[in-house]
């Protein structure tokens, strides 16, 4: 089954919190929506998620970070295997495609 992984920011609801936005994305994309890290940006806590478009390319790429063997990226297509979605505590969403 092919899942539509298109995000139209104009079609997203307005979110009032991180939890609300996260719940919407999880409902839309399930286990393809993954928390990668939390950091501070412009004085606000921001959660960085990956929306995985190509699991077969994404999984080995992510696993390589846990390996002691140094890996070299020779193909930029790996960066097309996911979209980064930033959500702050107030529910503001930024999509980095």
Cβ–Cβ < 8 Å for 29, 51 = yes
pLDDT digits (tens, 9 = 90+) for 14-33: 999 999 999 999 999 999 99
Q: What is the pTM of this model?
A: 0.82
How does pLDDT run across 55-93, given as a tens digit for each residue? 998 888 888 777 766 666 667 788 889 999 999 999 999
């Amino acid at each position: 089954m092919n899942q539509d992984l298109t995000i139209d920011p104009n079609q997203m609801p307005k979110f009032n919190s991180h939890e609300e936005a996260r719940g919407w994305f999880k409902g839309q994309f399930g286990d393809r929506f993954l928390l990668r890290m939390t950091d501070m940006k412009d004085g606000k806590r921001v959660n960085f998620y990956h929306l995985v478009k190509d699991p077969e390319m994404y999984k080995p790429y992510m696993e390589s970070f846990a390996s002691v063997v140094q890996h070299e990226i020779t193909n930029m297509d790996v960066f097309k295997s996911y979209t980064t979605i930033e959500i702050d505590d107030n529910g503001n969403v930024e999509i980095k495609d």
